[in-house]
Amino acid sequence: MNPFLLSLLGGVLIGISASLLLLFNGRIAGVSGITAGIVTPASGDVAWRAAFVGGLVLGGALLAVFLPRALGAPVVSGVGVPVLAGLFVGFGSRLGGGCTSGHGVCGVARGATRSLVATSVFVATGMGTVFVMRHLMGGA
């Protein structure tokens, strides 16, 4: 299938999922906030969060089994790089008051100023990282 259509389908599914979570649970589909609610749970608030995160993991696992080429080539870097990257992502999510799913998908759709600013910073940082990695550090 055409990569553009697959991306469009993925975006539509994310939008529908975020809308349904807001409609039926009154919750924003911000992955970092949902995951944080599992680590420091409130009474009666864990089941839907665990189901949400479990669905993300299960969806990725099913994709790896049934359409492994969609995930691209595996990155071989050892354990240290992913752990360090995860710590940076977690720190950035806390610093930014949310992650790309909460700000970029849900916050921008609601027109939240802080989400527009945060998403602009995410995109600019990503662009800067790609530029440095490809042009200044000689990466592919």
On the question of pLDDT at 140 being above 80, the answer is no
Cα 105 to Cα 15: distance, rounded to the nearest angstrom? 7
DSSP of 14-73, one letter per residue?
HHHHHHHHHHHH-----HHHHHHHHHSPPTT-SHHHHHHHHHHHHHHHHHHHH-GGGG-S
Model confidence over 42-98: pLDDT tens digits? 888 899 999 999 999 999 899 889 988 888 887 777 788 888 888 888 888 888 888
Confidence of residue 40 (pLDDT cuts 50, 70, 90): confident
pLDDT for residue 139 is more than 80: no
What average pLDDT does the segment 28-49 reach? 87
Q: How far apart are CA 114 and CA 97, in angstroms?
A: 9
Q: Give the pLDDT of residue 117.
A: 93
pLDDT at residue 120, rounded to an integer:
93
Write down the mean pLDDT value for the chain: 87
pLDDT tens, position by position, 118-137? 999 989 998 998 999 888 88
For residue 64, give Cα distances in angstroms to 10, 13, 41, 69, 110: 15, 18, 30, 8, 33
pTM across the whole model: 0.75
Say what the pLDDT of residue 101 is: 82
Length in residues, the chain? 140
